[in-house]
Amino acid sequence: MRIRRLGWAGIEIEHEGATIVIDAIRDVGGAREVVGPLRVDVVPPRAAGRVRAALVTHLHTDHADPGAIADALAPDGVVLRPHPDGGAGPLEAAALAEAEQGLEALAQPVVALAPWERREIGPLTVTALPAVDGFGDPQVGWHVAGGDASLVHCGDTLLHGWWWSIVERLGAPDVALLPVNGAVIALPHRQPASTRPAVMTPEDAVVAARALRSTLVPIHDVGIDAPPRYVPIADPTARAVAAAEAAGVPIHVLGTGEELALDDVRQRVPATR
């Protein structure tokens, strides 16, 4: 299995000729009106037009871009997404409506999965994972397995307590793609604003990677910086490297467009650590 970073939280996964993408975007869509443009390059998947499945962790437009998904998917591809929670109140509508409407317009089927549900995508097995969105909007992580290799991708979740259950149910993944920018977010429709991060910090990501017994690959690091509405921590990748080294957790930093073969990162943190 090989992975290629597409920028921000986007990733392309290839195994035995089948390709899927997770949180692939071209830009942040309507979110730019609140947090400005994406300040990092993103690249399309190499398999654009041939992708078997496009997975989204949640429907904020910096993670769910229907236009990018349409360009990526094969005609017989599928979109996998989290279940809506059925509330559909004004707060959710403000954050999710653009992506919801765009996904509904796609020619390919869109399938909602609850945590621990799985689907076979060619030689790959995809399982939705529990996750916690910083604003309470529906979110999942994704476990992707093919042959002896596996990974988890956790969108922009907060630190939670399901890491050990993931290992118990699915085994320790080779790689954990985890968010690290620890952004504090104050949006006009989410008041009074929280002063706590709405996404994992580098130190949180190291805790999660250690529990997963995985090599940490930081994502959701540098790309949005729009004080006072969106304030990430400074130098999140450098902090992640320092925290990982201090904890003895393997880490591999991928730049946009860079690739990694999971066979090259089969080093895992011992269960007794």
Write out pLDDT tens, residues 22-37: 999 999 998 888 888 9
Buried b (16+ CB within 10 A) or exposed e, 86-111: eeeeeebeebbebbbebbeebebebe
Where exactly are the structural domains of the chain? 2-252
Mean local confidence (pLDDT), 189-199? 93
What is residue 160's predicted lDDT score, i.e. its pLDDT? Answer: 98
Sign, CA torsion 183/261/175/120: positive
What is residue 87's predicted lDDT score, i.e. its pLDDT? Answer: 62
What is residue 89's predicted lDDT score, i.e. its pLDDT? Answer: 64
Nearest to 173 by CA among 6, 13, 25, 10: 13
Assess contact for 64 and 58: CB atoms under 8 A. yes
pLDDT of residue 7 exceeding 60, the answer is yes
Write out pLDDT tens, residues 128-166: 999 999 998 999 999 999 999 999 999 999 999 999 999
Write out pLDDT tens, residues 22-78: 999 999 998 888 888 999 999 999 999 999 999 999 999 999 999 999 999 999 999
CATH, range 2-252: 3.60.15.10
